[in-house]
């Protein structure tokens, strides 16, 4: 069985905030909800479960107030729900990433102590359970519009029951920033000929600055075995986009 360590974590992104640099701990707790069901006259406890699960998430780390940092993400406890993704096995295309479709920031604690580095702790409200995704495009910068068709990722057997993809853009800039950037999930049956599956919203530099340049988007029907990412800009001079794209194949 493979073992992983803290050094293996590839990225942790909330919307367009990149949080990994200030994280020291990430805790994901999944609880199966049980209800007591003993009747009058019964001696022993009994329980019933609908199969519903509750997910809670907390992170601890260092106080960081840089632009796009964890402090920027939490300081006002914005009521805007955002997708969040973490890559426990590395920032490598083809590896697993966990995605939370929609989370709220519900708590933020800054810890100051004599003789210690300032620390911070954030907690989330999670609307949906996490989805195990495959990294299609690593969190790296891209310049000229293009795609990763030649460096595709294989999703074993693909699927015919739909699924979802998520994109997080953490930087969108240039000598003259583009008006927007569109990220597209592509797929292929043979790893040779690719077609678009669906495109994510046309994100603007302002979206990135506001921390909201991200989207979790479902799709129906078939997703083929081989997948890739494409990106295109509107306007701008020497544009650069830094993003991650992941895909979930429904069983």
Residues 69 and 154 in one domain: no
Query: What total number of domains does the chain contain?
Result: 2
More confident site: 212 or 56: 212
1 belongs to a structural domain: no
Residues 155 and 208 in one domain: yes
The verdict on 146 and 227 lying in the same domain is yes
Count of H-run helices and E-run strands, the chain: 2, 18
pTM of the predicted model as reported, rounded to 2 decimal places: 0.91
CATH at residue 55: 2.40.30
Range of the domain at 198: 135-249
* Residue pLDDT, tens place only, 16-31: 999 998 899 999 888 8
Nearest partner of 103 among 121, 122, 128, 120, judged by Cα: 128
Which of 167, 159, 165, 166 minimizes the C-alpha distance to 221?
159
pLDDT at 196: 96
Whether 156 has a pLDDT exceeding 80, the answer reads: no
Residues 100, 128: Cα–Cα separation, whole Å:
7
Closest CA to 130 of 51, 217, 55: 55
The per-residue pLDDT for range 130-152, each reduced to its tens digit, is 899 999 999 999 999 999 999 98
């Amino acid at each position: 069985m493979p073992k992983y360590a803290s050094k293996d974590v590839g990225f942790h992104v909330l919307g367009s905030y990149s949080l990994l640099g200030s994280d020291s701990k990430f805790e994901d707790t999944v609880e199966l909800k049980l209800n007591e069901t003993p009747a009058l006259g019964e001696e022993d406890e009994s329980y019933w479960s609908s199969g519903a699960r509750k997910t809670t998430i907390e992170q601890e780390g260092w106080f960081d107030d840089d632009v796009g940092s964890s402090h920027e993400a939490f300081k006002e406890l914005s009521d805007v729900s955002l997708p969040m993704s973490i890559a426990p096995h590395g920032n490598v295309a083809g590896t697993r990433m966990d995605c939370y479709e929609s989370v709220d920031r519900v708590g933020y604690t800054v810890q100051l102590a004599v003789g210690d580095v300032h620390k911070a702790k954030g907690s989330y409200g999670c609307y949906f359970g996490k989805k195990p995704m495959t990294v299609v495009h690593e969190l790296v910068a891209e310049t000229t519009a293009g795609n990763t068709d030649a460096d595709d990722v294989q999703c074993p057997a693909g699927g015919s029951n739909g699924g979802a993809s998520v994109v997080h853009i953490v930087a969108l800039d240039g000598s003259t920033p583009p008006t927007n950037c569109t990220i597209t999930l592509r797929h292929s049956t043979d790893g040779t000929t690719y077609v678009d599956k669906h495109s994510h919203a046309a994100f603007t530099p302002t979206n990135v600055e506001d921390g909201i340049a991200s989207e979790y988007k479902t799709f129906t029907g078939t997703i083929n075995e081989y997948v890739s990412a494409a990106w295109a800009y509107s306007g701008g001079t020497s544009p650069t986009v830094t993003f991650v794209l992941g895909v979930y194949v429904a069983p």
